[in-house]
Homo-oligomer: A and B are copies of this chain.
Amino acid sequence: MLVSRAVLSLTSFPNRKLFSSPSSLARARRLRNPRMASVSTIRASAQKLQSPDELIDSVETFIFDCDGVIWKGDSLIDGVPQTLDMLRSKGKRLVFVTNNSTKSRKQYGKKFETLGLNVNEEEIFASSFAAAAYLKSIDFPKDKKVYVIGEDGILKELELAGFQYLGGPEDGEKKIELKPGFYMDHDESVGAVVVGFDRYFNYYKVQYGTLCIRENPGCLFIATNRDAVTHLTDAQEWAGGGSMVGAICGSTKQEPLVVGKPSTFMMDYLSNKFGILKSQICMVGDRLDTDILFGQNGGCKTLLVLSGVTNLQMLQSPNNSIQPDFYTNKISDLLTLKAATV
């Protein structure tokens, strides 16, 4: 039997009417930062997934995190193609969401293709795309510019959405010469600073972004995500986008608008774009504090897979207050278990 969640999470991205009402930069600035979740501690403990059929039948859309769910580094996780095929054959909508902002949707599409997965670009939602989609949703003026602390994916998505930008990889080699009286100019038409993971992060970018946020009236501070770690290579954990965002928080004393998980912006966007009820969505991920919280913040069903960063001990630790509805080893359990119950 499916057990419904004892308590619905209360935090949601505060712009659920974003796509149907007039919006402005001024309004966007008032949006609260939804990164802190208010999940109640009385939520029931996660159940081991026993009846995948019931879960599959109860939802219309599956949202999958990618790293640790679909692949690990450059290797596909066992049984993924068959599981996706089975879900498609049952008429389910599949969506792939990632906080990694270094690639655009198109670049992600190629990664899926290389791994032999038949996934359409339109089904992929990376936080690079979310940053551009967010700016579109607030009618960010086309005569304003975006300063980017981040990699190529963000630039590509901004370009596709028709926004002017500066910064990104080309500022990676820039240095500040601190001669007496040196003054650093900045572009006064920058109306938003987008910060994501950036392996070419440097002091020039910190100072440029800080000047824009501090001195350009109404300039937005948008973060693709605040993840502490990322998986640049599968050999170890790497400092994530949270470090670039933390640097700008430290110099501006401002908090960013987060468009990636666990903020519900992408969930709101998907729900609006495809006309899906959030209760008809199951969020599948390997991280409690991003994926599962993202699903819960959005009011969706949640399934934790143990094929990524979270193990059973971490899930069941008394220090963990984030409990998904269900957990299982890997997404292909949906197949195996299904076969077992037939």
A interface residues with partner B (beta carbon < 8 Å): 73-74, 176, 178-184, 198-203, 206-207, 210-211, 214, 226, 228-229, 232-240, 242-253
Contacts and interface: CB of A to CB of B under 8 A. Distances in A.
Contact of A183 (B183, B207, B214, B233): B233
A219 B74 CA distance: 32
Contact of A184 (B207, B214, B236): B236
For this chain, the copies found in one complex come to: 2
Given A183-B236, A236-B183, A243-B247, A203 B201 contact: yes
Nearest to A250: B246
A249 B214 CA distance: 21
Contacts of A179: 233
A255 to B, nearest CB: 11
Contacts of A239: 203, 206-207, 210, 247, 250-251
Contacts of A250: 226, 228, 239-240, 242-247, 249
Nearest to A186: B236
A251 to B, nearest CB: 4
Contacts of A206: 201, 239, 243
B229 A251 contact: yes
A250 to B, nearest CB: 3
Given A73-B180, A202-B202, A233-B180, A207 B247 contact: no
Contacts of A184: 236
